[in-house]
Structures are given as C-alpha cells and as structure tokens.
Amino acid sequence: MHRAKKSIILYTAFLFFCIGQQLTAGFSKAQKEFTKKLTFQPGGEINIKTDDGDVTIIGWEKNEVLIEAKLTAHAFSSRAASKKVEQIRIHVRESENFIRISHNGPDNTDVAYTIHVPEKISISCRTDDGTVHIENIYGKIGAESDDGDIFLKRITGDVRLRSDDGEIFFTGKFQDVDVLTEDGDITGEYHPQGNSYIKTDDGNVQLTLHLDETEEPAVFIDTDDGHVQSDFPLWMENQKMRRSASEIKIKVYTNDGDVRLIRE
C-alpha cells in the first residue's frame, strides 16, 4: 500500500517536472527577415493582411515599394521554433497598379511589416492582433485591427478606421472621416473638408479641428454618460443638421465617454 502511494507520488512529481520543462522550453523563439523591392508608380493601391503582427507604412518620394518583414515563430524548443519560422511564406502579388501582401504559416507565428510606398497611393490594411502605423500618405486609407491601436500621421485624403479594442489617433487633412472603435479612445487633429463620423462605445473623443476663419462646421454630439466641451455651436437633432448649408459636418457618438471639440 505504502509502496503504491510512493510510486504515485514519484510519478506525479516526474509528470510536473516534464510539464515544467516543456513550459520553460516554450519560450524558445526563432526569427527571420524578408526583404523585397518593387518598382511602383504613384496612384496605385496596396493591400496588406497579417494575422498577428504590427504594420508600419511610410510614404516616400521614390517610385518604389520596399517591403521589409520580420518573421517570428514560438515553440517548445529552439529547434522546433527554427523549423516553424522556415515554414512561413510571404506572398506578394503585383500588377501595374496594385500590390497585395499576405502570408501564411504554422500556429504561434507572426509577421511584422515595415513598408515604404510612394506618397500618392491608396492603402487597405488589416491585422487581427497588431498595431497599425501609417504616415505621410496622399490617398484613400482603410485600416482595421481587432485588438490593436491605429495611428495615422500626416495623411491627406479619405480615411476609414476600425478597431474593436484599441485606440485610434489620426492627423492630416481629410475630405471624409469614418472612425469606429468599441473600447478605445479616439483622438484626431485635422483639417476637415467634408463629413466626419466618429464613434466609440466605451472611450473618450477629442478632436482638434484646424479651420479657416470662414469655415463653420455643423456639429452633432451624442453621449449617454459623458461630458461635452465644444468650441462650436451644437445641433440638437441629427436629422435637422442635414439642413445646414455647411460643407463640413461633424457627428460624434459615445456611450460612456467624454467628448471635447477644439478649434485651432
């Protein structure tokens, strides 16, 4: 009886030792780099899709697209991680005015991109669990991240931004702005020229609007449990705001956050 109990105790201890060894080995990581350069004229479109990695896109004055990617794999041993990272494949599909970048690989792998593109270009970007950075672009931008933040700097054009659990920050000069996040703050500093639709369920909104003296936007703000500060007169009803002759219309919605609109 005592011998059987002793055997069970020793077996249990050995089992936990093996599990501990596996967990310790699970921190093994392997990385690999990918680089590709393409000739690409301004005015085209680029599409990027990554599951678990950050995306940084920077506009430059060259008629080239430079793709730099860092491939990372995690496993219970360095040998297994090295094997996994070699299985990641970067796919670059190109035509005269369109480039699509994506990848596939085993579980517990991710790819982070840094991409230089011509300044005049349209961008479509999606990542599930990464942060998106885009700067110095003249064109239409669409960016989505399920669990990451989105940052846009020095953008001229239209923007459509979506994040489930991240913050959104943008600066530039925009014709139309469409921004939505469920659980994050929204901060914008821009010159509006058309319609702006801003919505967050559980975050604060702060917009700094750069306007000429003659520009007077029509503004509507709806918040359930937050405070409102605005340098602009407010329309009390969304439907009536449509009657406004102003070409600049700002609509802001938040359920549980504060809203602040600043004129500069």
Average pLDDT (162-166) is 89
Mean per-residue pLDDT over the chain, rounded: 88
Quote the pLDDT of residue 12: 54
Query: Which pTM does this prediction carry?
Result: 0.86
pLDDT grade, residue 164 (50/70/90)? confident
CA angle at 186 for the pair 157 and 120, rounded to the nearest 5°: 20
Instruction: Give residue for tokens 């517990």.
Output: 108
For residue 15, pLDDT over 80 is answered with no
Percentage, residues of the chain above pLDDT 70: 89
Which pLDDT value is given to residue 117?
98
Query: pLDDT tier at 6 (50, 70, 90 boundaries)?
Result: very low
Judge contact between 198 and 179, C-beta under 8 A: yes
Per-residue model confidence (pLDDT) at position 8: 55
pLDDT digits (tens, 9 = 90+) for 136-152: 999 999 999 988 899 99
241 CB contacts (<8 Å, ≥6 apart)? 218, 220, 235, 249, 251
Cα Dmax for the chain: 93
pLDDT tens-digit series, residues 182-210 = 889 999 999 999 999 999 988 999 999 99
Is the pLDDT assigned to residue 65 strictly greater than 60? yes
pLDDT band at 239 (very low <50, low <70, confident <90, very high): low
Q: What is the mean pLDDT of residues 256-264?
A: 93
Q: Which residue has the tokens 């249990």?
A: 12
Averaged pLDDT for residues 29-34:
95
Cα-Cα end-to-end distance for the chain: 84
Percentage of residues in the chain with pLDDT exceeding 90? Answer: 69
In the prediction, which pLDDT does 19 show?
A: 45
Contact status, residue 224 vs residue 255, Cβ threshold 8 Å: yes
Average pLDDT over residues 68-76: 94
Residue 22 confidence (pLDDT) above 70: no
Q: What is the pLDDT of residue 52?
A: 80
Bridge partners (DSSP) listed for residue 40: none
Task: Report, as an integer, the average pLDDT of 78-91.
Answer: 94
Beta strands in the chain (DSSP E): 28-39, 45-50, 55-60, 64-75, 89-94, 98-104, 109-118, 122-127, 132-138, 141-145, 150-163, 168-181, 186-192, 195-200, 205-209, 218-223, 228-230, 249-254, 259-263
- pLDDT at residue 1 greater than cutoff 50: no
What pLDDT, on the 0 to 100 scale, is given for residue 225?
Answer: 83
Cβ proximity of 39 and 94 under 8 Å: no
Whether pLDDT at 26 is above 60: no
